[in-house]
Protein backbone atom coordinates (compact mmCIF):
# COMPACT_ATOMS: atom_id res chain seq x y z
CA UNK A 1 0.00 0.00 0.00
CA UNK A 2 2.96 2.36 0.42
CA UNK A 3 3.18 2.48 -3.38
CA UNK A 4 -0.21 4.26 -3.59
CA UNK A 5 -0.03 7.46 -5.63
CA UNK A 6 -2.50 10.32 -5.24
CA UNK A 7 -3.59 12.01 -8.47
CA UNK A 8 -5.18 15.34 -7.52
CA UNK A 9 -7.78 16.31 -10.15
CA UNK A 10 -9.47 19.18 -8.31
CA UNK A 11 -8.23 21.89 -10.64
CA UNK A 12 -9.88 20.05 -13.52
CA UNK A 13 -12.71 17.74 -12.47
CA UNK A 14 -13.24 19.66 -9.27
CA UNK A 15 -13.76 23.03 -10.92
CA UNK A 16 -15.46 22.16 -14.22
CA UNK A 17 -18.92 22.13 -12.60
CA UNK A 18 -18.45 25.46 -10.80
CA UNK A 19 -20.07 28.48 -12.45
CA UNK A 20 -18.00 30.98 -10.46
CA UNK A 21 -14.78 31.47 -12.46
CA UNK A 22 -11.61 30.92 -10.45
CA UNK A 23 -8.86 33.42 -11.37
CA UNK A 24 -5.62 31.95 -12.66
CA UNK A 25 -3.69 33.46 -9.73
CA UNK A 26 -5.91 31.56 -7.29
CA UNK A 27 -5.51 28.30 -9.20
CA UNK A 28 -1.75 28.79 -9.14
CA UNK A 29 -1.81 29.37 -5.37
CA UNK A 30 -3.73 26.13 -4.88
CA UNK A 31 -1.42 24.28 -7.28
CA UNK A 32 1.73 25.55 -5.55
CA UNK A 33 0.39 24.37 -2.18
CA UNK A 34 -0.27 20.95 -3.73
CA UNK A 35 3.25 20.87 -5.16
CA UNK A 36 4.72 21.27 -1.69
CA UNK A 37 2.31 18.86 0.01
CA UNK A 38 3.74 15.57 -1.25
CA UNK A 39 0.94 14.86 -3.74
CA UNK A 40 2.28 12.73 -6.61
CA UNK A 41 0.32 13.93 -9.67
CA UNK A 42 -1.57 17.19 -10.18
CA UNK A 43 -4.05 17.61 -12.99
CA UNK A 44 -3.99 21.29 -13.91
CA UNK A 45 -6.93 21.22 -16.33
CA UNK A 46 -8.39 19.92 -19.55
CA UNK A 47 -7.78 21.04 -23.10
CA UNK A 48 -11.37 21.64 -24.12
CA UNK A 49 -13.09 24.49 -25.94
CA UNK A 50 -13.37 27.45 -23.53
CA UNK A 51 -16.95 28.12 -24.63
CA UNK A 52 -18.02 24.63 -23.54
CA UNK A 53 -16.09 24.66 -20.25
CA UNK A 54 -15.07 28.26 -19.46
CA UNK A 55 -13.38 27.24 -16.21
CA UNK A 56 -10.67 25.49 -18.27
CA UNK A 57 -9.83 28.47 -20.50
CA UNK A 58 -6.47 29.08 -18.79
CA UNK A 59 -5.18 25.50 -18.75
CA UNK A 60 -2.33 26.17 -21.22
CA UNK A 61 -1.18 29.19 -19.20
CA UNK A 62 -1.18 27.23 -15.93
CA UNK A 63 1.18 24.60 -17.36
CA UNK A 64 3.52 27.21 -18.81
CA UNK A 65 3.60 29.25 -15.60
CA UNK A 66 4.30 26.33 -13.28
CA UNK A 67 6.86 24.67 -15.52
CA UNK A 68 8.75 27.92 -16.11
CA UNK A 69 8.61 29.04 -12.47
CA UNK A 70 10.92 26.27 -11.28
CA UNK A 71 8.58 25.55 -8.35
CA UNK A 72 7.67 22.04 -9.46
CA UNK A 73 9.60 19.30 -7.65
CA UNK A 74 11.09 16.68 -9.97
CA UNK A 75 9.05 13.91 -8.36
CA UNK A 76 5.69 15.60 -9.03
CA UNK A 77 3.98 15.01 -12.39
CA UNK A 78 1.67 17.54 -14.05
CA UNK A 79 -1.20 15.94 -15.96
CA UNK A 80 -3.84 17.21 -18.34
CA UNK A 81 -7.00 15.73 -19.80
CA UNK A 82 -7.42 15.64 -23.58
CA UNK A 83 -10.48 14.61 -25.60
CA UNK A 84 -9.22 15.04 -29.15
CA UNK A 85 -6.21 15.72 -31.36
CA UNK A 86 -6.49 19.49 -31.03
CA UNK A 87 -6.36 19.20 -27.27
CA UNK A 88 -3.31 16.96 -27.41
CA UNK A 89 -1.58 19.39 -29.76
CA UNK A 90 -2.15 22.17 -27.21
CA UNK A 91 -0.92 19.92 -24.41
CA UNK A 92 2.27 19.08 -26.27
CA UNK A 93 3.02 22.77 -26.82
CA UNK A 94 2.64 23.79 -23.18
CA UNK A 95 4.57 20.87 -21.69
CA UNK A 96 2.04 18.39 -20.32
CA UNK A 97 3.96 15.55 -18.66
CA UNK A 98 1.12 13.04 -18.37
CA UNK A 99 -1.75 12.83 -20.83
CA UNK A 100 -5.05 11.49 -19.52
CA UNK A 101 -7.53 10.35 -22.12
CA UNK A 102 -10.35 7.88 -22.26
CA UNK A 103 -13.36 6.23 -23.81
CA UNK A 104 -16.80 5.87 -22.27
CA UNK A 105 -18.28 2.38 -22.07
CA UNK A 106 -21.66 4.08 -22.59
CA UNK A 107 -22.52 5.23 -26.10
CA UNK A 108 -24.97 7.78 -24.70
CA UNK A 109 -22.41 9.32 -22.36
CA UNK A 110 -19.74 9.20 -25.07
CA UNK A 111 -21.90 11.14 -27.51
CA UNK A 112 -22.77 13.77 -24.91
CA UNK A 113 -19.17 14.12 -23.77
CA UNK A 114 -17.27 13.92 -27.07
CA UNK A 115 -19.85 13.88 -29.86
CA UNK A 116 -18.61 10.41 -30.84
CA UNK A 117 -19.78 6.84 -30.27
CA UNK A 118 -17.66 4.60 -28.07
CA UNK A 119 -16.22 2.84 -31.12
CA UNK A 120 -15.36 6.11 -32.88
CA UNK A 121 -13.79 7.59 -29.76
CA UNK A 122 -11.75 4.48 -29.01
CA UNK A 123 -10.02 4.50 -32.40
CA UNK A 124 -9.03 8.15 -32.05
CA UNK A 125 -7.95 7.86 -28.41
CA UNK A 126 -5.70 4.89 -29.10
CA UNK A 127 -4.05 6.72 -32.02
CA UNK A 128 -3.50 9.74 -29.75
CA UNK A 129 -2.10 7.58 -26.96
CA UNK A 130 0.40 5.92 -29.29
CA UNK A 131 1.51 9.33 -30.57
CA UNK A 132 1.92 10.71 -27.04
CA UNK A 133 3.90 7.67 -25.87
CA UNK A 134 6.11 7.93 -28.95
CA UNK A 135 6.87 11.50 -27.90
CA UNK A 136 8.04 10.24 -24.51
CA UNK A 137 4.95 11.26 -22.58
CA UNK A 138 3.34 9.27 -19.79
CA UNK A 139 -0.18 8.21 -20.86
CA UNK A 140 -3.10 7.05 -18.75
CA UNK A 141 -6.08 5.64 -20.64
CA UNK A 142 -9.42 5.31 -18.90
CA UNK A 143 -12.77 3.66 -19.37
CA UNK A 144 -15.43 6.14 -18.29
CA UNK A 145 -18.85 5.02 -17.03
CA UNK A 146 -17.14 1.70 -16.38
CA UNK A 147 -19.38 0.72 -13.47
CA UNK A 148 -22.69 2.09 -14.73
CA UNK A 149 -24.21 5.01 -16.63
CA UNK A 150 -26.64 7.68 -15.48
CA UNK A 151 -28.44 7.41 -18.83
CA UNK A 152 -28.16 3.71 -19.71
CA UNK A 153 -27.98 2.18 -16.25
CA UNK A 154 -26.08 -1.11 -16.05
CA UNK A 155 -23.06 -1.43 -18.33
CA UNK A 156 -22.05 -4.83 -19.67
CA UNK A 157 -18.66 -5.54 -18.11
CA UNK A 158 -17.50 -7.24 -21.30
CA UNK A 159 -17.63 -3.83 -23.02
CA UNK A 160 -15.19 -2.51 -20.42
CA UNK A 161 -12.83 -5.48 -20.80
CA UNK A 162 -12.83 -5.16 -24.61
CA UNK A 163 -11.79 -1.51 -24.33
CA UNK A 164 -9.06 -2.47 -21.86
CA UNK A 165 -7.90 -5.23 -24.22
CA UNK A 166 -7.61 -2.71 -27.05
CA UNK A 167 -5.52 -0.42 -24.84
CA UNK A 168 -3.22 -3.28 -23.89
CA UNK A 169 -2.85 -4.36 -27.52
CA UNK A 170 -1.73 -0.79 -28.31
CA UNK A 171 0.93 -0.93 -25.61
CA UNK A 172 -0.90 1.27 -23.09
CA UNK A 173 -0.12 -0.04 -19.61
CA UNK A 174 -1.52 2.61 -17.25
CA UNK A 175 -5.23 1.88 -17.15
CA UNK A 176 -8.01 3.59 -15.23
CA UNK A 177 -11.63 2.70 -14.53
CA UNK A 178 -13.76 5.78 -13.95
CA UNK A 179 -17.07 5.64 -12.09
CA UNK A 180 -18.48 8.69 -13.86
CA UNK A 181 -22.03 8.19 -12.61
CA UNK A 182 -21.09 6.97 -9.13
CA UNK A 183 -22.83 3.59 -9.53
CA UNK A 184 -19.95 1.35 -8.37
CA UNK A 185 -20.06 -0.85 -5.30
CA UNK A 186 -17.06 -2.48 -3.54
CA UNK A 187 -17.83 -6.05 -4.68
CA UNK A 188 -18.09 -4.90 -8.30
CA UNK A 189 -14.88 -2.89 -7.97
CA UNK A 190 -12.93 -5.90 -6.69
CA UNK A 191 -14.31 -8.20 -9.38
CA UNK A 192 -13.58 -5.88 -12.29
CA UNK A 193 -10.07 -4.93 -11.24
CA UNK A 194 -9.30 -8.59 -10.53
CA UNK A 195 -10.43 -9.48 -14.06
CA UNK A 196 -8.34 -6.70 -15.57
CA UNK A 197 -5.32 -7.85 -13.60
CA UNK A 198 -5.82 -11.28 -15.17
CA UNK A 199 -5.64 -9.67 -18.63
CA UNK A 200 -2.19 -8.25 -17.89
CA UNK A 201 -0.49 -8.70 -14.55
CA UNK A 202 2.02 -5.94 -15.34
CA UNK A 203 -0.54 -3.20 -16.01
CA UNK A 204 -0.57 -0.21 -13.65
CA UNK A 205 -4.12 0.32 -12.43
CA UNK A 206 -5.90 3.55 -11.53
CA UNK A 207 -9.36 4.44 -10.29
CA UNK A 208 -11.60 7.50 -10.36
CA UNK A 209 -14.73 7.38 -8.22
CA UNK A 210 -17.58 9.79 -7.63
CA UNK A 211 -19.55 9.85 -4.41
CA UNK A 212 -23.03 10.13 -5.93
CA UNK A 213 -24.51 7.41 -3.73
CA UNK A 214 -22.12 7.64 -0.78
CA UNK A 215 -19.97 4.61 -1.66
CA UNK A 216 -16.92 6.45 -2.97
CA UNK A 217 -14.39 5.93 -0.18
CA UNK A 218 -15.45 2.30 0.29
CA UNK A 219 -14.88 1.78 -3.44
CA UNK A 220 -11.41 3.31 -3.23
CA UNK A 221 -10.43 0.97 -0.41
CA UNK A 222 -11.79 -1.99 -2.38
CA UNK A 223 -9.73 -0.86 -5.38
CA UNK A 224 -6.59 -0.61 -3.25
CA UNK A 225 -7.20 -4.12 -1.93
CA UNK A 226 -7.39 -5.22 -5.58
CA UNK A 227 -3.96 -3.83 -6.44
CA UNK A 228 -4.90 -0.37 -7.74
CA UNK A 229 -2.09 2.09 -7.05
CA UNK A 230 -3.21 5.37 -8.67
CA UNK A 231 -6.14 7.07 -6.92
CA UNK A 232 -7.77 10.18 -8.40
CA UNK A 233 -9.26 12.63 -5.90
CA UNK A 234 -10.24 16.30 -5.64
CA UNK A 235 -9.73 18.81 -2.82
CA UNK A 236 -12.86 19.36 -0.77
CA UNK A 237 -14.65 16.60 -2.72
CA UNK A 238 -15.50 19.06 -5.49
CA UNK A 239 -16.46 18.04 -8.98
CA UNK A 240 -18.55 15.98 -11.30
CA UNK A 241 -18.92 15.38 -15.02
CA UNK A 242 -21.14 18.03 -16.66
CA UNK A 243 -22.19 15.48 -19.27
CA UNK A 244 -23.63 12.83 -16.96
CA UNK A 245 -27.20 12.68 -15.66
CA UNK A 246 -26.52 13.30 -11.96
CA UNK A 247 -23.19 14.96 -11.35
CA UNK A 248 -21.66 14.54 -7.89
CA UNK A 249 -18.32 15.27 -6.31
CA UNK A 250 -15.10 13.31 -6.44
CA UNK A 251 -13.54 11.41 -3.60
CA UNK A 252 -12.16 14.09 -1.30
CA UNK A 253 -8.36 14.27 -1.32
CA UNK A 254 -7.88 15.24 2.31
CA UNK A 255 -10.47 12.67 3.48
CA UNK A 256 -8.66 9.89 1.62
CA UNK A 257 -5.22 11.00 2.79
CA UNK A 258 -6.51 11.19 6.37
CA UNK A 259 -7.92 7.66 6.04
CA UNK A 260 -4.66 6.31 4.64
CA UNK A 261 -2.61 8.00 7.33
CA UNK A 262 -4.85 6.53 10.02
CA UNK A 263 -3.95 3.17 8.45
CA UNK A 264 -0.24 4.02 8.61
CA UNK A 265 0.08 4.79 4.89
CA UNK A 266 1.40 7.88 3.03
CA UNK A 267 2.38 9.78 6.14
CA UNK A 268 4.79 11.71 3.93
CA UNK A 269 1.89 13.82 2.60
CA UNK A 270 1.29 17.11 4.42
CA UNK A 271 -2.40 16.82 5.29
CA UNK A 272 -2.54 20.32 6.79
CA UNK A 273 -1.65 21.84 3.43
CA UNK A 274 -4.41 19.89 1.70
CA UNK A 275 -6.91 21.00 4.34
CA UNK A 276 -5.85 24.62 3.80
CA UNK A 277 -6.74 24.35 0.09
CA UNK A 278 -10.19 22.95 0.86
CA UNK A 279 -10.85 25.72 3.39
CA UNK A 280 -9.66 28.33 0.91
CA UNK A 281 -11.96 26.87 -1.77
CA UNK A 282 -14.91 26.75 0.61
CA UNK A 283 -14.40 30.43 1.37
CA UNK A 284 -13.94 31.29 -2.28
CA UNK A 285 -17.19 29.62 -3.34
CA UNK A 286 -18.94 30.71 -0.11
CA UNK A 287 -20.36 27.26 0.54
CA UNK A 288 -19.68 24.03 2.38
CA UNK A 289 -17.84 21.49 0.25
CA UNK A 290 -18.61 17.75 0.37
CA UNK A 291 -15.44 16.91 2.30
CA UNK A 292 -15.40 16.16 6.03
CA UNK A 293 -11.89 16.48 7.44
CA UNK A 294 -11.42 20.12 6.41
CA UNK A 295 -14.46 20.99 8.55
CA UNK A 296 -13.75 18.99 11.71
CA UNK A 297 -9.97 18.70 11.55
CA UNK A 298 -7.87 15.51 11.46
CA UNK A 299 -7.45 13.00 14.24
CA UNK A 300 -3.96 13.42 15.66
CA UNK A 301 -3.42 10.43 17.93
Residues tagged active-site: 241
The three-class DSSP label of residue 5 is strand
Contact call for residues 38 and 78 (beta carbons, < 8 A): no
φ/ψ of 210, rounded to 5, equals -110, 155
Compute the radius of gyration of the chain from its Cα atoms.
Answer: 18
Residues 6+ apart with CB under 8 A from 276: 33
The three-class DSSP label of residue 137 is coil
- Please list the alpha-helical segments (H only) found in the chain: 24-35, 59-69, 85-94, 107-114, 118-134, 157-169, 186-199, 216-225, 253-262, 271-285, 293-296
What's the rounded Cα separation, in Å, for the pair 101 and 140?
6
Amino acid sequence: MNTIKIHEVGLRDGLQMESEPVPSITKLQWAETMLSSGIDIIQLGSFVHPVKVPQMADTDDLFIELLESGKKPDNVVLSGLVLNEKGMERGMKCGVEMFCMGVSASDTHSKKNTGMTTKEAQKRIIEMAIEAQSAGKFVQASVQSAFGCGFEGKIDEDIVYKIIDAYLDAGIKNLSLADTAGHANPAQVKRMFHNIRNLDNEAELACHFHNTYGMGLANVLAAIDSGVTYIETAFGGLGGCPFTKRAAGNICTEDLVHTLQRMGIRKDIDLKKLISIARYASGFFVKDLPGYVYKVGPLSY
